[in-house]
Amino acid sequence: MRIVRLLRVAHLRARSLLRPADLDAELERELAFHLEQLTTEKIAEGLTPVEARLTARREFGNPALFAERSRDQRRVRWIDDLRQDVVFGLRMLRRSPGFTTVALLSLALGIGGNAAVMGALHGVLMTKLPFAHAERLVIVQTFAIDQPRQASGASILDYVAWRDRSRTLDAIAVSLSGPRQFAAEPDGTPAESIPGLSVTPGWFELLGVAPLHGRWPDTTRDAASDAARVVVISHRLWRQRFGGAPDIIGRRVRINGVSRRIIGVMPADFRYLADNVDCWMPMILGPDAARRPGAGRPFVVLGRLKPGVTIAQAQADFDAIAADLANVSPERHKGWGARVQPLRQAMYGWTKAPLFTLQAAVALVLLITCTNIAGLSIARTTVRRREIALRAALGAGRARIVRQLLAESALLSGAGGVLGLVVAAVGLRVVTTALGPPASAPHLAGLDLDGGVVAVAVLLSVLSAFALGLPSALASGRMDLSSALNASGAAAGKHPSGHRQRGMLVIAQLAFALVLLVLAGLLAHSFLRLSGRNINMDPDGLLTFEYGVVPAAYAKQVGYINGLPHFELNVPPARTIDRLYERLRQLPGTESVAGISYPPVNSLVLPTTIVALEKNGTRDVREVPYFLVTPGFFATARTPIIRGRDFDARDTDSSPWVAIVNEAMARSFWPGEDALGKHVTLGNGPDERDREVAGIVADIPTRLNQIDAAPVIYASYRQQPSSYAGRWIGMFGQMTFLVRRRGDMASVLSAARRAVSEVDPDRPLVRVGTVQQHLYARRSESRNYVLALAAFALTAMLLSAIGTYGVTAHAVNERTREIGIRRTVGAGRREIVTLVGRRVVPLIAVGLALGLAAAAALSGLIANQLWGVSPTEPATYAAVSVVLALVSLLACLGPVRRAIAVDPTVVLRCE
Amino acid sequence: MPKPSDLLQGTLDLLILKTLAREPLHGWGIAKKIQWLTDDELSVGQGSLYPALHRLEQQGWITAGWKNTELGRNAKFYSLTREGKQQLEREMESWKRLSGAVGLLLKRA
């Protein structure tokens, strides 16, 4: 029964949808029949046929109206209307190509930018890490309690203590990163330094990743003595160094002088904290691991929470352990806390702040886009009032008109959304490069247009359709039909509330744009400050590479001094470095060569020493960054020597030991005195000798983003003790060489390689490149970030200029007649300009003022992304305000010129 | 004479369905028959009649087809469907209840 009816209804719907013309014809016939009957009746009543027809028609009423109402009954009316609306909307959009283009472009930018940044945010915050139980994986770090913001890794003691005591972890593993020297292969593949990771058993299983080929190290299967002699290599290394050899599993390679068997290949897309690790080796901790001394806290501890345990519970657990450890063995644990952090946060936490800033920026752009287009469409609505009023008078309901306007804006924002997807695809690239090269942002590299990004774009399109259409739809609803229809053509556009709305929109736009400009300006200012700063080195033409020997080759731990490991140093590393230095000095095509124990700027580790001063009977002890350098270092780096001298051939082990300090140290240690000739003792162990300050050099910042110079002390690597107590044993066995070249880079570099292989054939060069590259490796990321923000800010400015232009043009159009009259009665250009200006300048002023206030209130949020620039720095605020004001005024220029050019006679005759 | 718009929509539907209960009719015929059956008390304007007919048709209560009148004119005739008959029963039932209730109130209040 019901089925029959359903089928019938479905048939009817289909018919009304597919053959509306047939239905309309039928309806017309039906009504005609009715009219005919009515006429016949009238004739029967005695009227003449003509009279009868007229009376019948009068009585019958408006057939078009009935037809319309009958059509309304068809239930598919909305589809019909939609079709009509779309066609009509397309026609309207085509008719105003300027509006359409501006609207489309700004929507595409707004929607696309937002989708891209939200996609990236989503990727960073939500995407599941490709590990088993990824949500339970945590990184545990230590931190000095007096410096809670600066986290360190863990010492092996920390690891053992945590492993044995933690009640909230069900698995724990530790890794230690460092370069591994792969020896030259018999087939001629040269020696290479490969970033590697040593991991304790279970580390692979903890991450739950399966090997691409082979297997993971297995302590039970690999005989204990053999267990350490295996290596897992990355997909990249397998491809590049071993040519993707199919028989790679089981091959032997010499790594750090030990022969190891390759037992596995990592999947290509494996990413852990650092992206560039290419080999993994087991780290076997014997039962005496806890008793072994551990210098520093270089280990990264990975743990897995027991099911159901929260981060907070784990943190409480580790707080308790830390407190307990500080009691049990204060010499090693006092003053240190432990922090539990989700693995995701450890991997991506740092990208959050810039991403949120970008997100805020694109959200502002979208907001401006919408206000702008809303303003434009209000203007259009007021211009189209007559058309709309006419349609209303012809029987279109208010709902129908609102729907029509919404359909138009839906078309716009739909097309904008499609373009936006294109922008988003490009934008994702921009965002990911803005945050850094793939190496520093592992999973960001894989971000692409996905369902989420598309969903965001669609959602934004729908929202912006409403934002666009509603204001004008509402404005049309308040319209008074008769006045709209009766008003003369030009005056029909007058609509006071439309003005107020547009004025407010322009104010909002200018304020948003200013906020964005201020943020981008502050970041750009900070960036320029950093890049323009004098680092007191001349990186141009300076080649650099690193050379190093593992500490085990020259140092042997003999005990502890004041809780610090105490090593005996062998002479060989110094001697090898000496030979290398002498050999490199004879390199053709070079001007000078020098070495320094760590990269002087942006070194990953920054060794320090304790400097003790005797002053007026009191001992002043401070920790200062400490570099070992070769003779002529400052000359090669072209660092100005303020007083005294550079290290030179005089400085040998047997001559009086000297040190060179930077200006900041001279100022801070000997304020108001001459540091030259003063004596210091470095806390490097019992064999350290008294050193005289032989020179004062200009400040080389140890970090590129460090604004205030900090003390640094330098000593010759030839004047070093035979034993060392401290955490930086590595500095005695390595050198970062700087080569000031004259010849071309490639030949100098290959000569340098030859020289190094002559002295030490098994030791490859590491981090070869120009100093420029090393200094600015990280800078390109922040440059992209600042550029992305600046692009958004400029877009915002452009959009607000369009808005301002629109309001001004409108004001002029509407007052054309008034202007004409004023011109006739003798008003000069100035009066006309004032007339228009009075309308627009207040809007600009209020917009700027609001924007400045908002920017001042909000800029604190990016304070931690600024270096050496205060969030409320007046210069930036002033500069961007002036720029925005000028651009806004420039936007008014066209309409104002049109106002001046108004020809009174034409205008007056027109009306 | 009440204007068409004064007729409750539901009532108009009821009238149309009942009018069609005995024989298929075209729009003009329905209007005339309602007028005739109510002694000219009720007159349905074409402005309400045709939308109502089309609505009922879309709901599946009535169905339409083109036939010749006795005078040989081609017209669109509406007839009740089986579901339309059931719908008429239901509407008559509820109308009786409603008018009965109104009658009671008028009598007792």
Q: Could you give the ipTM of this predicted complex?
A: 0.84
Last residue of a domain, one of A75, A95, A114: A75
Please check whether residues A627 and A704 belong to one and the same domain.
yes
Please check whether residues A153 and A301 belong to one and the same domain.
yes
Nearest CA to CA, how far is A14 from chain B (Å)?
Answer: 11
Better-predicted residue by pLDDT, A374 or A659? A659
For residues A319 and A340, the answer to whether their CB atoms sit within 8 Å is: no
Cβ-Cβ contacts under 8 Å, A30 against chain B: 26-27, 50, 75-76
For residues A713 and A660, the answer to whether their CB atoms sit within 8 Å is: yes
Q: Which pLDDT belongs to residue A339?
A: 87
pLDDT at A485 over 80: no
Question: Which of A113-127, A666-680, A721-735, A888-902 is predicted most confidently?
Answer: A666-680
In chain A, residues 11-30 whose CB comes closer than 8 Å to chain B = 12-13, 16, 26-27, 29-30
Cβ-Cβ contacts under 8 Å, A74 against chain B: 54, 58
Cβ-Cβ contacts under 8 Å, B28 against chain A: 33-34, 37-38
Last residue of a domain, one of A57, A75, A93: A75
Please check whether residues A496 and A457 belong to one and the same domain.
yes
Q: Which pLDDT belongs to residue A296?
A: 62
Instruction: Give domain status of residue A104, yes or no.
Output: no
Task: Give the range among A290-299, A405-414, B74-83, B90-99 with minimum mean pLDDT.
Answer: A290-299
Q: Which pLDDT belongs to residue A182?
A: 84
Better-predicted residue by pLDDT, A567 or A113? A567
Instruction: Give domain status of residue A311, yes or no.
Output: yes
pLDDT at A591 over 80: yes
List of E strands, A200-283: 213-214, 230-233, 252-255, 258-265, 279-282
Instruction: Give domain status of residue A373, yes or no.
Output: yes
**Domain of residue A856, residue span:** 351-532+780-910
pLDDT at A635 over 50: yes
A336 beta partners: A144
Q: Which pLDDT belongs to residue A556?
A: 83
Q: Which pLDDT belongs to residue A695?
A: 94
CA dihedral (A430, A431, A432, A435) in degrees, to 10, reads 120
DSSP A542-578: EEEEEEE--GGGTEEEEEEETTEEEEEEPSHHHHHHH
- In A, minimum Cα distance to B31 occurs at A34
Do A12 and B58 make contact, defined as CB atoms within 8 angstroms? yes
Residue spans of the domains in chain B: they are 4-108
Interface A-B, measured as beta-carbon pairs within 8 A, has a size of 73
Better-predicted residue by pLDDT, A237 or A564? A237
Nearest to A362 by CA among A310, A293, A423, A316: A423
Q: Which pLDDT belongs to residue A75?
A: 60
Please check whether residues A312 and A169 belong to one and the same domain.
yes
pLDDT at B1 over 70: no
For chain B, say whether A8 makes contact (Cβ under 8 Å). Answer: yes
Q: How far apart are CA A559 and CA A568, in angstroms?
A: 9
Cβ-Cβ contacts under 8 Å, B76 against chain A: 26, 29-30, 33
State the DSSP H helix or E strand holding residue A386, giving kind and residue range, or none if neither. Answer: helix A385-393
**Look-up of token digits 């936490």:** A349
pLDDT at A442 over 60: no
Cβ-Cβ contacts under 8 Å, B60 against chain A: 5-6, 8-9, 12
Q: What percent of chain A has pLDDT over 70?
A: 82
pLDDT at A438 over 50: no
Question: Mean pLDDT, chain A, as a whole number?
Answer: 80
Please check whether residues A270 and A162 belong to one and the same domain.
yes
Q: How far apart are CA B65 and CA A12, in angstroms?
A: 13
For residues A683 and A692, the answer to whether their CB atoms sit within 8 Å is: no
Please check whether residues A452 and A558 belong to one and the same domain.
no
Please check whether residues A788 and A755 belong to one and the same domain.
no
Per-residue model confidence as pLDDT tens digits over A187-229: 777 777 788 888 888 888 888 888 888 888 876 665 555 666 8
For chain B, say whether A65 makes contact (Cβ under 8 Å). Answer: yes
Instruction: Give domain status of residue A110, yes or no.
Output: no
Helices and strands (DSSP H and E) totals, chain A: 29, 25
Q: How far apart are CA A905 and CA A558, in angstroms?
A: 104
Cβ-Cβ contacts under 8 Å, A12 against chain B: 57-58, 60
In CATH, the architecture of B4-108 is Orthogonal Bundle (1.10)
Q: What percent of chain B has pLDDT over 70?
A: 91
Please check whether residues A296 and A329 belong to one and the same domain.
yes
Domain count, chain A: 4
Instruction: Give domain status of residue A38, yes or no.
Output: yes
Please check whether residues A574 and A526 belong to one and the same domain.
no
Nearest CA to CA, how far is B86 from chain A (Å)?
Answer: 11
The mean pLDDT of A560-569, rounded to a whole number, is 79
- Residues present in chain A in total: 911
Residue A735 φ then ψ, to 5°: -145, 135
pLDDT at A566 over 80: yes
Cβ-Cβ contacts under 8 Å, A33 against chain B: 26-28, 73-76
Instruction: Give domain status of residue A42, yes or no.
Output: yes
Do A74 and B54 make contact, defined as CB atoms within 8 angstroms? yes
Instruction: Using CB atoms, pick whichever of B51, B76, B83 lies closest to residue A72.
Output: B51
Task: Give the range among A237-246, A475-484, A854-863, A887-896 with minimum mean pLDDT.
Answer: A475-484
Strands A713-716 and A618-629: parallel
Instruction: Give domain status of residue A96, yes or no.
Output: no
Q: Which pLDDT belongs to residue A545?
A: 85
Task: Give the range among A158-172, A288-302, A483-497, A842-856 with minimum mean pLDDT.
Answer: A483-497
Please check whether residues A555 and A626 belong to one and the same domain.
yes
Instruction: Give domain status of residue A411, yes or no.
Output: yes
Residue A361 φ then ψ, to 5°: -65, -50
Is the pTM higher than 0.90? no
Q: What confidence tier does A712 reach under pLDDT thresholds 50, 70, 90?
A: very high
Please check whether residues A197 and A245 belong to one and the same domain.
yes
Nearest to A742 by CA among A733, A734, A751: A751
Please check whether residues A521 and A557 belong to one and the same domain.
no
Q: What is the CA radius of gyration of chain B?
A: 15
A813 beta partners: none
Q: Which pLDDT belongs to residue A149?
A: 62
pLDDT at A476 over 90: no
The mean pLDDT of B69-76, rounded to a whole number, is 84
